[in-house]
Structure 1
Amino acid sequence: MHAPDSAPLSDPPVSLRHFRPFWWFWLTRVLLTSGFQVMSVAIGWQVYALTGSAFDLGIVGLLQFVPRILLVLVVGTVADRFHRQRIVALSMTVQAASAALLAMGALHWGFSTTRELIFAIAVVIGICRAFDMPTMQALLPSVVPPTLLAPAIAAAASANEAATILAPAAGGFLYALGAEFTYALVMTMFLLGAALVVRVPARRHISSGKAMTLEALMAGVHFIRSRRDILGAMSLDLFAVLLGGATALLPVYAGEILHTGPWGLGLLRSAPAVGALAMSAWLMRHPIQHRVGRIMFIAVAVFGLATIVFGLSSWFPLSLAALVVLGASDMISVVIRSTLVQLETPDEMRGRVSAVNSLFIGASNQLGEFESGMTAHWLGTVPAVVLGGVGTLAVAGLWMRWFPSLARRDRLIQD
């Protein structure tokens, strides 16, 4: 993989290491992601224990994703009209209340947890996630100066990856002691996060001031369509991950191809996050300053190649290494795309643009898992993964041709 052309920012006005407002934001992001990860583990275990149905597990995921589609236009407008810290705080408080309700059900305090209750909570979580994810994205540029946005996005991404690695294990351990302990931890995380986010100092948010008309709701979509570089970066990630996502098939690889069992599956699931976390730490210290378009396309191509290597490998260490490289290359693309989108978007539009971007990310991940499963059913597991990697390479080539200004872009901040 080609090393990014990077160097420390020259004479930044303030060091991220000493930039206290950002670390309040970072801690909130850790608590938000950790709470969601732990709650997902607990809900998954509990619904499977209640019903024994893998189909019900899929329903839980679907119920969490559907609100993001239905509310994509509304949440962006809300994030552009109202106090963003308060929106996140309210979302986390509602999720804390949901965790408290499930803890009470686990303890049989007046009622017991049922399949229907878990489904209802999944919808509530989906609604909250639809609001808090794009709002947090829109808030970050108001917390740090533009010169520190790229390393700040890398640092914020490291919060997600660290939570993805550690939180599910903590949730599984506590669940073994009792579901009520897991939900109590989730409730505590969300309440702490809600208390922290309202303390995040940010530059004054200028509301769009427009009524919630259809025109205002669609403004984010129209803005993305009018900015070729933003449209190219967001759609590149959507189709590359949609085709190249192999995570849904990791249980098949662990059991039938690599013959490792559950412990191997745990390592395989963690490997992309380990690569992403390491790369985010590198990018915090060495933000990419030049040839950003070329580097992003190289990163997507490396993602596709790593997918192919993983698909063909039957040697566990090589498979792990391929997934680490996959996660690292994806992080490069994520940081460049996210920074580009935030810098190119006016503050009064960031909520609506972030909402559409959040939908793209969710669609690529979750629809990618569906696509991988269906292709594996039709063609077999290995051909499905390899074909997905080839598809990612094809997307990178086509997008370089269709979005030449993005491929030629030198700096994140245009002169």
Structure 2
Amino acid sequence: MDEPTVPRNDPYASMRNVEFRYFLVIRFALIFALSMQFAIIEWKVYMLTRDPLNLGLIGLAEFIPAFCLALFAGNIVDKKEKRGMVLKCLLGYVIVGTGLFLLTWDDVMKGVPQRWVLFMMYFLVCCGGIIRAFVSPSNFSLLGLLVPRNLYVNATTWSTSAWQIGAIAGPALGGLCIAMFGVHWSMLLVLGCIFVSLFCILQIKRKPVHYKEMGETVKERLTKGLKFVWDTKVLLNAMTLDMFAVLFGGSVAMITIYANDILKVGPEGFGALRAAPAVGAFLTMMALAYRPIVTRPGIKLLAAVFGFGLCIIVFGLSKHFILSMAALFGSGMLDGISVIIRQTILQLKTPDDMRGRVSSVSSIFVGSSNELGSFESGVMARLLGPVGSVVFGGCMTLGVVVTTYIISPAMRKLDLKA
């Protein structure tokens, strides 16, 4: 792909690509739908069971298939045409969304025992985890084919910002829709957004496949992404740092309990609390589109994750809605910095023929830690209570940052120049 000359520090350089704009709509609509769907499921499950462990099991149901299939999915994505892979994943999400829509329809589920409703919800979440194992490397690989290399930093910032806008609006509107229309009809909006993504992916042309058969064994193909990440220390360090920060600092699963039992703000407040971290992250990413991080990014990454841990501790201890909102907002702002730096490293360091496999390794480290973190929060909430669970996670995040600073000179010396 030719690399066009663009004005220096042009914040809209990648946005001038028509297919990239369709890609941004897909990123927004899909994460809007999935984050809204996840928030609705959390609310429904907690209303049925009043048990924090059941909230954690939602994350575990998605984590297990996504984790187990990640390497296999990355290998498949590298060998297949990327636009077609994204299309298949979106069709899979339509099936899962339709199932959840029917499960939350009282007339359809009338007379069905509660335990079976829960089981079928967990099963469909598990199916969503299978799809996510493929959609994450497919999206990452497709982005690298839509814009030239010299626009990767700019494109990554806009792509992540679109993701964050969806993550803001999804849970916020989810809480509002639950209050106004109920769980069932809120799921219908989820399906509508997935169909928007389907329309947009059809506007993107098929892309060339860069994969070259090297006579490798199946084991070598599956583990090549792991070996690449292991050998690229700055990438390994960034993924590990983010994995443990999200694993221990993931307070999202406890927001349902805080909204209902501690802050007592109902579904509207629940939606606002769920959206607060994404609002903060989005504002940070918009600022970074104009003022990209170019000096001492490693130190700034460590500082951002350390601040993220402090915000999680404040949220855990807070008994006031405004303070809780501010803490979650701050955690999102700081998390936005780490996401931009990590995704930029991933785009710049990964060869075209390995994007699927390396992205799958990233999903093992980072993406799956969100769901595993939800399960960890649920288990710790059962043992320590919700406040103890969140504070414990924030303290562990601080410890991870300090440890990374001490043992990782590559992170301290990180340079993002392409």
TM bin, normalised by shorter chain, reads 0.7 to 0.9
Q: Identify the residue that residue 193 of structure 1 maps to in structure 2.
A: 197
Q: Deviations over 1:140-195 (max 9, x none)?
A: 12222233222322222222222222223545566664766445433333233123
Aligned pairs for 1:165-314 within 5 A: 165-171=168-174, 177=181, 181-200=185-204, 204-210=208-214, 213-254=218-259, 258=263, 260=265, 262-314=267-319
* Partner of residue 64, structure 1: 62
Code of the aligned partner of 1:166: A
Unpaired stretches in structure 1, ≥5 consecutive residues:
1-7
Report deviation, 1:404.
0.4
**One-letter code aligned to 1:345:** T
> Does residue 133 of the first structure (1) align with residue 131 of the second (2)?
no
Separation in structure 1 between the aligned mates of residue 316 and residue 205 of structure 2, nearest angstrom: 46
Conserved 8 A contact 1:292-1:412 = no
Cα pair 2:305 2:335 within 8 Å, conserved = yes
Q: 1:268 to 1:40 in 2, by over 3 A?
A: closer
Tell me the secondary structure at the aligned position of residue 97 of structure 1: helix
1:4 corresponds to: none
Structure-2 separation of matches of 1:389 and 1:167: 25
Deviation for aligned residue 1:208: 3.6
Cα offset for 1:39? 3.3
Task: Report the Cα distance in structure 2 between the residues aligned to 1:183 and 1:371, rounded to whole angstroms.
Answer: 27
The aligned residue for residue 146 of structure 1 is 149
Identical amino acids, percent of aligned pairs: 35
Indicate the residue corresponding to 2:411 in structure 1: 406
- TM-superposed CA distance for 1:37, in Å, is 2.7
Q: Determine the C-alpha separation between the residues in 2 that align with 1:383 and 1:103.
A: 35
In the TM superposition, what is the alpha-carbon distance from 1:122 to its structure 2 partner? 2.7
| Conserved 8 A contact 1:376-1:383 | yes
Q: Hey, what's the Cα distance between the residues in 2 that align with 1:41 and 1:196?
A: 25
1:49-60 pair list within 5 angstroms: 52=49, 54=51, 58-60=56-58
Q: Which amino acid aligns with 1:159?
A: A
Q: Offset of 1:379 from its aligned partner?
A: 4.4
Is the CA contact 1:151–1:285 (under 8 Å) kept in the aligned structure 2? no
Instruction: For 2:108 and 2:266, locate their aligned partners in 1 and report how far apart those are by CA, in whole Å.
Output: 38
Distance 1:32 1:262, change over 3 A: closer
SS in 1 for 2:412: helix
Are the equivalent residues in 2 in contact too, given 1:9–1:287 (CA < 8 A)?
no
Q: Secondary structure at the match of 1:288?
A: coil
Indicate how the Cα distance of structure 1 residues 142 and 386 shifts in structure 2: closer, same or farther if over 3 A, else same.
same
| SS class of match (2:193) | helix
Task: Report Cα offsets for 1:271-321 as digits up to 9, x if no partner.
Answer: 111101111111122221222112111111211222233334444433322
TM (normalized to structure 1)? 0.85
- 3-state SS of 2:209 partner: coil
Q: Kindly state the Cα deviation for residue 226 of structure 1 after the two structures are TM-superposed.
A: 0.8
Q: Distance in 2 between matches of 1:256 and 1:111?
A: 28
The aligned length equals: 405
The residue type paired with residue 346 of structure 1 is: P
Alpha-carbon spacing, 1:334–1:103, altered in 2? closer, same or farther (3 Å): closer
**Residue number in structure 1 paired with 2:3:** none
8 Å contact from structure 1 (residues 12, 147) kept in 2: no
Alpha-carbon offset, residue 251 of structure 1: 4.2
Question: Who is 2:163 aligned against?
Answer: 160
Gap regions ≥5 residues in structure 2: 1-5
- Structure 2 CA distance for aligned equivalents of residues 65 and 123 of structure 1: 8
